[in-house]
Structure 1
């Protein structure tokens, strides 16, 4: 459990876990990246003490890291508030990463078509530790949809997108991630494991899985795993929205099969 007795949300990842046996591991670099990772959507800015609490690193170390990252343009310092904010250098890195994913360009028109048909949100995501990060998102026109966009993070264990990805991973990798969840969320783990096991069965039998209020009580979604054409990466592709718009029957009879078709089209190209 995090400092102060606060219960960690299911999308929050563990602080840096350094391995003293790995001689190739550059600890200073890893710590600097952990500082950047600790900024979350909605943060107006963070002070050194805030960053120290989120990363688990000593405050003197944080002070040196934030100074260095500011000099390099990855952070900017607001002197009046005494806080740090992400700088343009981070945006440049993120844009370069997204620009290199050709699957986004190929998937976008198919995603938008489904989003318009379903009056819902359709998103493409990839795993980052115990979270899924949105790489592309399309919304239905005039619909009440989720307010998530590129860069948003959602938990891997309770979302349809995350479960679809977990179901498609090699058994050893999936077992490793489930072990991390067991250690980090012991109370919730039995339910999390049941959801993943159900997703594995659903992916095997019909090609898609569901999340019916498991992430947020009023949100329903279906998702499929999506392999890159060269099999070098796996993504999650979902369609989700308010439960009053996406009933289980609609997800099972319309949305899920359509996602399976889209995944096949993108994989075969």
Structure 2
């Protein structure tokens, strides 16, 4: 974890380290011990022990017995519910995106930036159809995903250096590669309203995906809606001719329901 305390006196390093512990947890985890949290966060195990003790005392982590692996606690669940309720578009998007998932037979996703990656905060699985393995809590790389390219394409230019800095070189993301990805995605968004990363560059060979941005009024940067499926079920031709336009139409429906003007692609 990058320490900003040397460059910004307002930065509270202890708080940042505590939050990094909470962010270490993934949906598939059956709890985590201090050693595993230390490995994932890059923090010393002694520091992790103090942080997990404090977070457990406050209810943000829990374990049934002494020495057992930690799991997210009830205070964290309550905090997440408050956050979800305060971002008004998420609940309204649910029925629209579920219908899109069912009609296109793809997994529909909502991604928001979490430092150097996009965090999947909602998924809508198609009824009666097997879908890809991505789930809430997964973090998708910016370089090598349609979601990441779409995010960069919709991002104001002045925010790009910060995003690159926080990615810390993840999958080779540099200022130059980010600018190139952004320019390509911007052209796609301007021309057709959705972005597709070349499958040859994708972070996982068993995923094809197409993405469209959404600009919430209560957030300072875009979020990304994505449809994804196995390559044999979601060819590039199908993304371009069918699923991409359907995704863009679904996001426009959400914008209309919220009284938003269509979100522009931004230079």
TM-score, normalised to structure 2, is: 0.84
- Structure 2 CA distance for aligned equivalents of residues 97 and 246 of structure 1: 33
Report the equivalent of 1:144: 130
The equivalences for 1:174-213 within 5 A come to 174-181=160-167, 183-186=169-172, 195-213=181-199
For 2:51, which of 65, 74, 85 is the aligned residue? Answer: 65
Report the equivalent of 1:56: 42
Provide Cα deviations, 1:14-42, integer angstroms capped at 9, x if missing partner.
x1423224222222222211211122232
Provide Cα deviations, 1:178-227, integer angstroms capped at 9, x if missing partner.
35547344499987765544322211222111135313212111111111
Is 1:256 the counterpart of 2:228 in the alignment? Answer: no
For 1:132, which of 104, 118, 121 is the aligned residue? Answer: 118
- Which ranges in structure 2 are unaligned for 5 or more consecutive residues? 260-267
CA contact (8 A) 1:104 1:135 kept: no
- Shift of the alpha carbon at 1:83? 2.7
Query: CA 1:182–1:70 in structure 2 vs 1: closer, same or farther (change >3 Å)?
Result: closer
Provide Cα deviations, 1:76-127, integer angstroms capped at 9, x if missing partner.
2354654322212211111211122221122122212211111111112211
Query: CA 1:153–1:230 in structure 2 vs 1: closer, same or farther (change >3 Å)?
Result: closer
Query: CA 1:150–1:120 in structure 2 vs 1: closer, same or farther (change >3 Å)?
Result: same
For 1:93, which of 79, 86, 92 is the aligned residue? Answer: 79
- Structure 2 CA distance for aligned equivalents of residues 68 and 125 of structure 1: 30
- Structure 2 CA distance for aligned equivalents of residues 204 and 141 of structure 1: 32
CA contact (8 A) 2:20 2:41 kept: yes
- Shift of the alpha carbon at 1:48? 2.2
Is 1:39 the counterpart of 2:36 in the alignment? Answer: no
Provide Cα deviations, 1:43-69, integer angstroms capped at 9, x if missing partner.
222222222232232332222211111
RMSD: 2.6
Query: CA 1:228–1:196 in structure 2 vs 1: closer, same or farther (change >3 Å)?
Result: same
Query: CA 1:38–1:192 in structure 2 vs 1: closer, same or farther (change >3 Å)?
Result: same
Report the equivalent of 1:23: 9
More strand by share: 1
Relative to structure 2, which stretch is displaced further, 240-249 or 143-152? 143-152
Q: What is the SS of the residue equivalent to 2:223?
A: strand
- Structure 2 CA distance for aligned equivalents of residues 248 and 63 of structure 1: 48
CA contact (8 A) 1:229 1:267 kept: no
Is 1:173 the counterpart of 2:191 in the alignment? Answer: no
- Structure 2 CA distance for aligned equivalents of residues 151 and 52 of structure 1: 19
Query: CA 1:36–1:16 in structure 2 vs 1: closer, same or farther (change >3 Å)?
Result: farther
Query: CA 1:210–1:88 in structure 2 vs 1: closer, same or farther (change >3 Å)?
Result: same
The number of residues matched between the two structures is 255
